[in-house]
Structure 1
């Protein structure tokens, strides 16, 4: 693809109304994340259009952070000093069909990359529920989709180009750098400015998704593994009321010669006869196509379409990971808190993620189940509920999503990551003056 064509494609995609435009956002008096719940600590921001400009900016500031698509709900991406944005870096993706990899600007959104890859006959192994997030930010925080055999999005990374605190450019790869690579992929924004990322790809494929309504909780209790293994990607949505799962989303690959006929019932749940939103009261117009209609992988793996406002808009989010072997116990533990949770909840989602080997990933060396909460935008109330959930999940050594809201103490959080001492040493080696550290990292990783 020629650069002019690629830029034209990117421009048309960026024109969609998925999120407030970056230009409008930086003109605001106060910088906030996309959900509006977090106000950033500085308005100082530079935009870099090239690797050389990134190097110059890094050398010129004592403290700084990269600001991406702003989908984090806490201060992990915040800076009290300076931000740099990479949104104007628009190099053409480097596709290597023989190696089955693609190298892209780290700021690129998954929805944009997906359409490019599909046009070339390729696909990624998975996508998150939103295609609007940046590749760099998603990998840095171990963001994920679902599927018992699908690792988080970072597991597709095979190499990264990073500008270090000194301004030096370093490339790390799985093939050559071993433990350093496994330490650096889920880096929480602390190593430097990731400018280019290489991802493993595979031949493109078609998918279809079916939605079932009102699965009895007893079925989840007795058949959780069978339910989660029934499709390429499975999501359970619940409000924790009435001893049932509100919706079950099954996303399956279309296989040639294997026609799919949806059964009217799935573990006690009834097949939906119209497209649904995970939050039943909301219109499904923003959601990806259901009812078993085949379509490209990138139009079925996410829950929400690229050209629409994701999820419900103003909301808060939390997510907790437990070992897959404890999934049912953890779900039942949360369900016991239903009357504490439901008044403040929009919806919860339960997903599975395969194990990985990244030091700071919540799925490090353990297949996991993630219990996600989309909350009403009332932090005062949510802040009181989170400790109750964390206490119930404590026996399973719960790990929170790095980019979402939690109240676990730093001491407890640090105890859940066996490679944390080595990771802190790596941060010190790559960034000896703490240029890329911020309040979030200082509190959660370095406080005693």
Structure 2
């Protein structure tokens, strides 16, 4: 593992390498970060984030964790539009794989990228922003174009969020009122085993500077307010979860599901995620619940969330409002990998896109039909890395051929 401490060190390293890949906080569950050559981690890059209050942006080293960036922004009175479930992940890794967060009106984390800087195959330093040609192809880039060194993100004034949890919301009610359920707060997560008559939990993250229709409510679409803080998995203490029970607090401490000080996983899990057009959300719920007999023995929990459409070429929400079905599996890899093609087959009519950093089985021929700019991205990758220095087995199988 190489850990350059500066952009110049990274440029020299990349120029001399025959094969190289960036690796972040290692929260991917497939081979996207693997390399037959050098793996590069940017944890030793120095320098604080740079705030531009006039432009309403912040520029960070690509290896910066979202939780650390959030703490910096809070000290200066600013915020990001969203966070993923874990604040432990790096900005570059999340952006490059279209990792998201939640909310009907919220784009994934990559949509906040206003500019970027990366080292390309010959060691050149390339900068691009929203006015640059092919910028929308460079953001969610899967590490195929180069190694991000700096990323500039949109920010906004700081805000507070309260988190209310409801239990046992009937599936019939979720299906009948899906849009109302997911628009009930700034960010909404539905947790379930996909079996039984009800979703086990619904988490509402509400900004306190907007209307709060369910703040302190005793009932939510047939479910009831939780009487104590909840963990998404049954029987596990909520001590490491972000503050619940309607207590207002900084966006930085509420939008993620877990606290930064908590180590999120000991490796005893696998993850997959599939995203479908929001117009097909109810059909997807019914299809997956129909497979619950096969899914349940391997499942720890399924989380359902929504995202706004965007224009980033390889984003799972490119051109469409999206609903995501995130599966946290038991650590039974052979069984999970045997199940995934069956799930993908029944979801295929809904034009389902997998999360780039999770386990999936779809091949390049299937994926290219799901992304209108897929061929454009392949051309961009070839032009920026003609010798395939950043290509690995994952990219060869699923994207670049």
The TM-score with structure 2 as length reference comes to 0.98
* Paired position in structure 2 for 1:235: 189
Specify whether residues 148 and 312 from structure 1 end up closer, same or farther in structure 2 by C-alpha distance, changes over 3 A only: farther
* Paired position in structure 2 for 1:172: 128
1-structure distance, mates of 2:321, 2:209: 26
**Distance apart, 1:446 and its partner CA:** 2.8
1:232-271 matches, cutoff 5 A: 232-255=186-209, 261-271=215-225
* Paired position in structure 2 for 1:398: 352
**Distance apart, 1:387 and its partner CA:** 1.6
**Distance apart, 1:260 and its partner CA:** 7.1
Q: Does 1:89 align with 2:42?
A: no
* Paired position in structure 2 for 1:126: 82
**Distance apart, 1:409 and its partner CA:** 2.8
Aligned residue for 2:303, secondary structure, equals strand
* Paired position in structure 1 for 2:371: 417
1-structure distance, mates of 2:189, 2:339: 23
* Paired position in structure 2 for 1:272: 226
1-structure distance, mates of 2:368, 2:235: 39
Contact 1:93 1:104 in 2 (8 A): yes
**Distance apart, 1:85 and its partner CA:** 1.4
Which of 238, 251, 271 is matched with 1:297 structurally?
251
Aligned residue for 2:173, secondary structure, equals helix
Contact 2:120 2:145 in 1 (8 A): yes
Contact 2:206 2:212 in 1 (8 A): no
* Paired position in structure 2 for 1:49: 5
Task: Report runs of 4+ in structure 1 exceeding 2 Å deviation.
Answer: 255-261
Specify whether residues 242 and 93 from structure 1 end up closer, same or farther in structure 2 by C-alpha distance, changes over 3 A only: same
**Distance apart, 1:388 and its partner CA:** 1.9
The one-character-per-residue Cα deviations of 1:229-285 (angstroms, maximum 9, x if unpaired) are 000000000001112100000000112897974111100011001000000121111
CA RMSD of aligned residues (A): 1.3
The one-character-per-residue Cα deviations of 1:183-235 (angstroms, maximum 9, x if unpaired) are 10000010001100000000000110000000100001100000000000000
The one-character-per-residue Cα deviations of 1:363-400 (angstroms, maximum 9, x if unpaired) are 10101000010000001111122122111211111000
**Distance apart, 1:311 and its partner CA:** 5.4
**Distance apart, 1:345 and its partner CA:** 0.3
Specify whether residues 309 and 438 from structure 1 end up closer, same or farther in structure 2 by C-alpha distance, changes over 3 A only: same
Choose 236-245 or 147-156, whichever is displaced more. Answer: 236-245
Contact 2:162 2:244 in 1 (8 A): yes
Choose 182-191 or 257-266, whichever is displaced more. Answer: 257-266
Aligned residue for 1:329, secondary structure, equals helix
Which of 111, 121, 140 is matched with 2:96 structurally?
140
Aligned residue for 2:132, secondary structure, equals helix
* Paired position in structure 2 for 1:205: 159
Contact 1:163 1:170 in 2 (8 A): yes
In the alignment, structure 2 segments of 5+ residues that lack a partner are: none
Contact 2:275 2:316 in 1 (8 A): yes
Contact 1:304 1:311 in 2 (8 A): no
Contact 1:147 1:228 in 2 (8 A): yes
Specify whether residues 366 and 256 from structure 1 end up closer, same or farther in structure 2 by C-alpha distance, changes over 3 A only: closer
Aligned residue for 1:191, secondary structure, equals coil
* Paired position in structure 2 for 1:102: 58
* Paired position in structure 2 for 1:38: none
Contact 1:352 1:368 in 2 (8 A): yes
2-structure distance, mates of 1:170, 1:331: 43
The TM-score with structure 1 as length reference comes to 0.88
2-structure distance, mates of 1:390, 1:421: 22
Aligned residue for 2:32, secondary structure, equals helix
Specify whether residues 147 and 261 from structure 1 end up closer, same or farther in structure 2 by C-alpha distance, changes over 3 A only: closer
2-structure distance, mates of 1:106, 1:51: 11
Q: Does 1:317 align with 2:271?
A: yes
Aligned residue for 1:177, secondary structure, equals coil
* Paired position in structure 1 for 2:114: 158
2-structure distance, mates of 1:116, 1:428: 37
Which of 157, 163, 177 is matched with 1:223 structurally?
177
Q: Does 1:184 align with 2:138?
A: yes
